[in-house]
Amino acid sequence: MAGIDTKGNLYESGPGGIWVISPEGKLLGKILTPELVANFCFGDPDYKTLYIVARSSVYKIRLNTAGIP
């Protein structure tokens, strides 16, 4: 699963959670989750909430940058 924000950063599920990678390919950081990520999407009217579906839970985190729906 992958998504892109309005700055061109790539969000990709990986070991430990969601990896955020710049357009140049640099790892900007990781959004750590306590469970294996199954899927995720940007949501809410401003697309600044990341909804993460894991094995037994759904998590949400507010972002500073909007995702591209």
Residue 69 lies in a domain: no
Which of 38-59 are b and which e, b meaning 16 or more Cβ less than 10 Å from the residue's Cβ? eebebeeeebbbbebbbeeeeb
**pLDDT tier at 69, thresholds 50, 70, 90:** confident
pLDDT tens sequence across 26-64: 999 999 999 999 999 999 999 999 999 999 999 999 999
* pLDDT on residue 10: 98
Residue 26 lies in a domain: yes
* pLDDT on residue 9: 98
Q: How many domains does the chain have?
A: 1
Q: Domain containing 19: what range? A: 2-62
* pLDDT on residue 1: 77
**pLDDT tier at 6, thresholds 50, 70, 90:** very high
Which of 10-22 are b and which e, b meaning 16 or more Cβ less than 10 Å from the residue's Cβ? ebebeeebbbbbe
Nearest to 62 by CA among 51, 53, 49: 49
The partner residues of 52 in beta bridges, in order of sequence, read 40, 59
